[in-house]
Amino acid sequence: MPLQKYKLTIAYDGTDYEGWQARRAGRGIRHEIEKACENLFGIVPQIVSSSRTDAGVHAVGLVAHFSLSQEGTVMSGTQLQLALNSQLPPEIRIMRASRAKENFHARFDAVKKEYRYQLCNDAVMPPLLRQQAWHVPKPLDIHAMREAAAFLIGRHDFRAFTAKRQGKLLDSSRTLYECRITRRSSLITVQLTGEGFLYKMCRRIVGTLVQVGEGKITPAQIPSMLCDPAQYPSGMVAPAHGLILWKVTHRR
157 is catalytic: no
Q: What is the pLDDT of residue 73?
A: 60
pTM: 0.94
Q: What is the three-state SS of 14-26?
A: CCCCCECCCCCCC
Q: For the chain, first and last CA: distance in Å?
A: 27
Number of domains in the chain: 2
Pairing of strands 187-194, 173-184: antiparallel
Whether residue 155 is found in the same domain as residue 242:
yes
Q: What is the pLDDT of residue 2?
A: 76
Summarize pLDDT for 46-95 with one digit per residue, the tens: 999 999 999 999 999 999 999 988 665 678 999 999 999 999 999 999 99
Whether residue 243 is found in the same domain as residue 196:
yes
**Catalytic residue selected from 13, 16, 54, 228:** 54
Indicate the residue among 100, 134, 162 that finishes a domain.
Answer: 100
Q: What is the pLDDT of residue 69?
A: 82
State the DSSP H helix or E strand holding residue 69, giving kind and residue range, or none if neither: strand 58-69
Whether residue 183 is found in the same domain as residue 79:
no
Which residues, given as ranges, of the chain have pLDDT below 50?
A: none
Indicate the residue among 66, 100, 134 that finishes a domain.
Answer: 100
Whether residue 26 is found in the same domain as residue 88:
yes
Whether residue 44 is found in the same domain as residue 13:
yes
Domain range for 150 is 111-250
The verdict on residue 218 lying in a domain is: yes
Whether residue 189 is found in the same domain as residue 64:
no
Q: What is the pLDDT of residue 165?
A: 63
The verdict on residue 232 lying in a domain is: yes
CA atoms of 176 and 206, how far apart (whole Å)? 14
CA atoms of 41 and 49, how far apart (whole Å)? 20
The answer to whether the beta carbons of residues 7 and 16 sit under 8 Å apart is no
